[in-house]
Each structure stands twice: as structure tokens, then as C-alpha cells.
Amino acid sequence: MSTGLAVGVGSLIVGVIAILILIFTSFRSLEVNEIGLNYSGITKSVDRDLYTSGIHFLGVGHSFIKYPTTVQTYEFSKGKGSDAPSVRSRTKDGLEVELEISFQYLYMSLELYDLYMQYGGLEKLPCMKIAIDILTDVATQYKASQFFFDKEKITFAMQKAVNKTFAQYCFATVDYFQLKSIDLPDKYEIAIQETEVMRQDIHKAEAEKAKMQIELETTILQAQIASNININKAEANGQSFYKIQYQQAASLKTIKDALGLSNPDLLDYLRAKILREYPEDKMIIGMA
Ligand SMILES: *[C@@H]1O[C@H](CO)[C@@H](O)[C@H](O)[C@H]1NC(C)=O
Ligand SMILES: *[C@@H]1O[C@H](CO)[C@@H](O)[C@H](O)[C@H]1NC(C)=O
């Protein structure tokens, strides 16, 4: 009798504990940065409904398939902790190129059911392979020189391509993209750097020369305009030739400086100019 009672109480306690465990395990929680799908371990089925952070009563045998709501990263580089090595490809002109790339993506919450149906929660590896494929392919569309001079354009094209493919196959958007390093054969890199330095030097020298030329021409032009005005003014006022010469002195000094003439040179220049330009009947040669 007492043994029977003991067995009865024992099974009651076991039963109560079992029920408590069942109830307890029917509650499932999601962290702040998680979003979940209701999964039944008994029927192996998933609901389309989404659950956000907090504690939810899902029912016996149910649990959450969890996805992050924060941006996720893929990194392909030589660095430690990267998901895969650098992306190796060939340029349009056939050179080997090695690219260090990272990008950030965000799962489209409304498509999580489809994502789960597609990959059963194991999307990380297949999506990485898809990304590497696309990046390798985009790299072949650009010449080696473009990797030097058009990096932004290539970065943009790569992001656009991965974003498009991810929307279709990985139910995610690629919001940030970094083309961190570009490694071309050393021989090519040295050659192109030398060419570029030379190109810049030539460009600089040409710009300098053009600037000097313009300055010189402007100075001469200003001086000529000034002297003509002075002659005209002086003639109108009936001033003497000497006075005109005196007024011209200032502008002539500018010409002298601009052309780098010595004093005797300037006098020669002036004589020639006067003989050439001044009406003969008004001329008095009065210069030593
Ligand atoms: C989870 O899905 C099951 C059906 O699979 C459903 O009976 C249950 O109510 C769902 N849980 C919630 C919290 O909606
Ligand atoms: C990525 O694709 C989505 C559509 O799937 C679009 O709304 C978004 O603007 C794209 N982002 C970039 C950076 O191309």
C-alpha cells in the first residue's frame, strides 16, 4: 500500500515536471537583432509568419529559425578571419589580377521564408560562392589600366552586379562594398607607374610653359596698349614728343622686365619701335 502510494506520488511529480518542461520549452525567445520563422520539429514545417525580438509561445516541439537583422559581411582577402582568399581573375587584356574585397549585405526580411526554403539555413557558403563567381566575372570586363585609373567605376559595377545577383539568389541587398586592394603582375605595375609619373611631369611642364607664355603676352599687350593710349592722349593735348616718351617709360619698363632686356637692349628696341611706328613728320630723334 505504502509502496503503491509512493509510486503514485512519484509518477505525479514526474508528470508535473514533464508538463512544466513542455510548457517551458514552448516559449522561445528572439534577441534584439534577430528575426525568426516558426519551425515545427515534429512536422518539419515552417510558417511564413515573421517574429521579432522578445519571448513567444510557439507550442510544443516548435522553435525559431533565426536570421540576423543587422548587416552581415563577406570578406575575401589575405587577412586572418576572412571568409575566403582574395578573388583571382583575369583582366580583359589577359593579365592576372588579385582583388581584396569586402561587402556588407542585409537579408530582405520579407523573403526569409524563401531563403529558408532555398538553403535550409545554410546559405552562407553557397552565397559566398555566388559572390566570388560574379566578382570574378565582372573583373574580366575591365583592362588592367582601368584597375589603376578607374577603380571607382569598377567598384560601382561590382557592387551593382553582386547586389542584383544577391537579390535574386540570396534574398539580400548589398549596401556597402569595398574594393580594398588590386594586385596586378609586378612588371606591369612598375611600368604603368613610371608611365604615369612621366605623364604627370610632362603635363606639369606644359602647363608651366603655357602659363609663362600667357603672362608674357599679357604683359606685352598691356604695355603696348598703355603706350598707344599715351601717344594718342599726348597728341590730342598737343604735348611734346619728349613728354610722350616720358609717359611711355613706365610701360616700357614693363616690357623690359617681361623680355628680360638689358638697358642697351631696351634702347635698341625703343629706337626700332619709334622708327617703325611714329609718323615721320613728327619725329625728332633725341635719344642718346
Ligand atoms: C507556429 O506554427 C504552428 C503550426 O506549425 C502553429 O500552430 C502555431 O500557432 C505557431 N505559433 C505561433 C506563435 O503563431
Ligand atoms: C540593390 O538592389 C535593390 C533592389 O534589390 C535596390 O533597391 C538598391 O538600390 C540596390 N542598391 C545598390 C547600391 O545598387
Q: Which sequence spans correspond to the domains of the chain?
A: 25-69, 72-184, 186-277
User: Could you tell me if 160 and 93 are in contact, meaning their C-beta atoms sit under 8 angstroms apart?
Assistant: no
Amino acid 8: pLDDT: 78
pLDDT in tens, 212-241: 777 777 776 776 666 666 556 655 665 555
In this prediction, residue 63 carries a pLDDT of: 83
Q: Check residue 287 and give its pLDDT.
A: 45
Q: Tell me, using a 6 A CB cutoff, whether residue 173 lines ligand 2.
A: yes
Say what the pLDDT of residue 245 is: 58
Tell me if 59 sits within 8 A of 93, measured CB to CB: no
Tell me which residue has cell 508535473: 16
| CA 163 / ligand 2 centre spacing (Å) | 6
* Sign, Cα dihedral of 198, 204, 206, 212: negative
Most confident segment among 41-45, 132-136, 270-274: 132-136
pLDDT at 283 over 70: no
pLDDT of 51 strictly over 60: yes
Whether 48 has a pLDDT exceeding 90, the answer reads: no
Mean pLDDT value of segment 191-199: 75
Centroid of ligand 1 to alpha carbon of 237 (angstroms):
108
CA-nearest of 68, 128, 133, 138 to 103 is 128
**Residues 234, 231: Cα–Cα separation, whole Å:** 5
Question: What pLDDT is stored for residue 89 in this prediction?
Answer: 94
Does 288 score more than 50 pLDDT? no
Q: Are 144 and 184 contacting, i.e. CB atoms less than 8 angstroms apart?
A: yes
Give the pLDDT score at 101: 95
pLDDT 10s digits, 115-161: 998 998 899 999 999 999 999 999 999 998 899 889 999 999 999 99
Which residue has better confidence, 133 or 193? 133
Q: Which of 173, 175, 177 to mutate to test the pocket of ligand 2 (most atoms within 8 A of CB)?
A: 173
Q: Is the pLDDT of residue 244 over 60?
A: no
Cα of 59 from ligand 1 centre, angstroms: 7
* Atom number of ligand 2 nearest to Cα 175: 13
Q: 72-184: which CATH architecture?
A: 2-Layer Sandwich (3.30)
Q: Which atom of ligand 1 is nearest to the CA of 62?
A: 1
**Strands 54-57 and 87-90: what pairing?**
unpaired
* pLDDT for the residue 278: 57
Q: Quick check: CB of 160 below 6 Å from ligand 2?
A: yes
In sign, the C-alpha dihedral spanning 151, 154, 158, 160 is: positive
Average pLDDT in the 94-108 region? 93
Whether 226 lines ligand 2, by a CB cut-off of 6 Å, is no
How distant is the alpha carbon of residue 216 from its chain centre? 41
Q: Cell 543587422 appears where?
A: 70
- What the block records as the C-alpha cell of 152 is 571607382
Distance, CA of 109 to CA of 30 (rounded, Å)? 15
- 218 residue type, one letter: T
Nearest ligand atom owner, CA of 108 = 2
pLDDT attached to residue 280 = 54
Q: Does 159 contact ligand 2 (Cβ within 6 A)?
A: yes
Across the range 80-100, mean pLDDT stands at: 92
Looking at residue 249, its pLDDT comes to: 66
Indicate if ligand 1 lies below 6 Å from the C-beta of 45: yes
How confident is the model at residue 228, as a pLDDT? 65
Burial class (CB in 10 A: 0-12, 13-18, 19+), 199: exposed
Which ligand 2 atom sits nearest the alpha carbon of residue 164? 2
Q: Does the pTM exceed 0.85?
A: no
